[in-house]
Amino acid sequence: MSTHGSLAHIGVVGLAVMGSNIARNLAHHGHRVAVFNRSHGKTEALIADHGHEGEFLPAQTIDEFVASLERPRRALIMVQAGAATDAVIEQLADRMDDGDIIIDGGNSLYTDTIRREKAMAARGLHFVGAGISGGEEGALNGPAIMPGGPAESYKHVGPLLESIAAVVDGTPCCTHIGPDGAGHFVKMVHNGIEYADMQVIGEAYHLLRYAAGMEPDAIARVFKKWNTGDLNSYLVEITAEVLAQKDAATGKPLVDVIVDAAGQKGTGRWTVKAALDLGIPVTGIGEAVFARALSGDLAQRRATVGNLPAGTLPGEVINSDKDRFIEDVRRALYASKLVAYAQGFDEIKAGSEEYGWNVDPRDLATIWRGGCIIRATFLNRITEAYDSDPGLASLLLDPYFNGEMTELVDSWRRVVVTATRMGLPIPVFASSLSYYDGLRAERLPACLIQGQRDYFGAHTYRRTDKDGSFHTLWNDDRREVEA
């Protein structure tokens, strides 16, 4: 540790796991870092355990912290989202001067970020809402960083943040996303996609286990192999690790002793809520969030397990052609994953239009290639897709992905049929296929819905053969009138 008279390049407030790892990462990259935590014990622990790793300026009080920053001051907040973040912003803002920069690196809701940016701008301060992904390990060794806020402030924080971000092919996984809430919005959708990605992997595991009757060890080997192909990704890699893990106490596969009730902190739910408001069908993410909710309601499951009729259709025997089934499941996973990403990118496009952010989808695919939880080889393909056509109506229309779908779709249908016959839940596989078929369909039953709406509420409908709005006089002589 060095505490000579020089000021710090940046300061970090909030030294729980994420905050202290980011502070260490900054120090490892040669930045002098002021550090402050509400309860001083965490600051002391950081200095005691890691002070030798770089130049830290520990502060006992928020005044001392702010005074130790060079100008324009840069303070990165890493505290709990919500009220704690608001409290720290106020403490900092009260002590800062024109042009100083507050960066919120927590998982804040983008509408809070929009509000805070406005309030800080009115006080002459820059406010940067930065999504940071990669968990504890990413925070320490290189996360993906999605900073929003004024373009001007990126000049002052961009190089610092880029220096600690993950790097893929020489490109840092950090770029200015757009004004005010853009960074946190994009991080939120990233987390939503992560939910869907984890759920489709879960569904694939469940099918290999309970349709094909494979043991976790064998399934781990399948995932390991899949990780060498199109599905190469951090999540597939760690899936193989988790499935291969044995419980020390019982000798059983660890997955078999873990309670099958999934937790959530809320960013998936936010993604779906925002999508509902924007009118964007993110069915994959939605089903993934609901699947966690279903799994988590243990009282309801205790009441329903064994008490709902399964029906009498005979199950399928997979043994006869297990290899084909495994390959079918791989393809169903890939197809469903593509749909989830296509939907996530649709939501980002809609959010960007709604709030005037001008988010470039290529930036996201580029910075998500490293550091973050959804890092995957196939993100390169997404960058290429938007490179060749920035106005792509759906990622699924990109010639490469379209070609992939040709290869995937028969397997996908077979898997959905098999799972359905066997009574195995595959909410994202099945709903993604329905979404896909919805996009393909020349006619949708929405025509009937419009008819019903016109019947009970005179909501009118448009005709396929001429312009205008029409209403049928349902309760009269059923003539059609122009509305």
Residues that bind ligand ATR (CB under 6 A): 14-19, 37-39, 42, 79-80, 84, 87-88
CB of 123 to ligand ATR, least distance (A): 19
Return the SS3 of 171.
Answer: strand
Contact yes or no for 316/328 (Cβ under 8 A):
no
Q: State yes or no: 359 annotated in a binding site.
A: no
Return the SS3 of 461.
Answer: strand
Closest to ligand ATR by CB, 88 or 235: 88
Closest to ligand ATR by CB, 140 or 332: 140
Closest to ligand ATR by CB, 90 or 482: 90
Q: State yes or no: 272 annotated in a binding site.
A: no
Of 55, 117, 162, 187, the catalytic one is 187
Closest to ligand ATR by CB, 79 or 193: 79
CB of 82 to ligand ATR, least distance (A): 9
- 32, two tokens: 């002098």
Closest to ligand ATR by CB, 12 or 211: 12
Catalytic residue status for 194: yes
453 by Cβ neighbours in 10 Å (0-12 / 13-18 / 19+) ranks as: middle
Q: Give Cβ neighbours of residue 291 (< 8 Å, ≥ 6 apart).
A: 199, 202, 262, 425, 427, 428
Q: Which amino acid is at 174?
A: C
Q: State yes or no: 402 annotated in a binding site.
A: no
Closest to ligand ATR by CB, 52 or 265: 265
Q: State yes or no: 195 annotated in a binding site.
A: yes
Q: State yes or no: 17 annotated in a binding site.
A: yes
Name the helix (H) or strand (E) containing 132.
strand 126-133
Q: State yes or no: 320 annotated in a binding site.
A: no
CB of 328 to ligand ATR, least distance (A): 39
Q: State yes or no: 33 annotated in a binding site.
A: no
Distance of CA 177 to the CA centre of its chain: 15
CB of 43 to ligand ATR, least distance (A): 9
CB of 188 to ligand ATR, least distance (A): 16
Closest to ligand ATR by CB, 83 or 248: 83
Q: State yes or no: 73 annotated in a binding site.
A: no
Distance CA 463, CA 22 (A): 58
Q: State yes or no: 38 annotated in a binding site.
A: yes
Beta bridge partners of 44: none
- Hunting for tokens 């229309």 — which residue is that? 397
Q: What is the largest CA-CA distance in the chain?
A: 90
Contact yes or no for 140/25 (Cβ under 8 A):
yes
Catalytic residue status for 215: no
Contact yes or no for 133/190 (Cβ under 8 A):
yes
Q: Which amino acid is at 270?
A: W
Of 55, 117, 162, 194, the catalytic one is 194
Contact yes or no for 385/400 (Cβ under 8 A):
yes
CB of 107 to ligand ATR, least distance (A): 8
Beta bridge partners of 376: 233
CB of 264 to ligand ATR, least distance (A): 14
Exposure string over 206-239, b if 16+ CB within 10 A, otherwise e: bbbbebbebebebbbebbbebbeebbebbbbbeb
Contact yes or no for 145/131 (Cβ under 8 A):
yes
C-alpha distances in Å from residue 361, one per residue of 188, 300, 350? 15, 41, 11
Show binding-site residues: 14-19, 37-39, 79-81, 107, 133-135, 190-191, 195, 265, 292, 453, 459
Catalytic residues: 187, 194
Show binding-site residues for NADP(+): 14-19, 37-39, 79-81, 107
Show binding-site residues for substrate: 107, 133-135, 190-191, 195, 265, 292, 453, 459
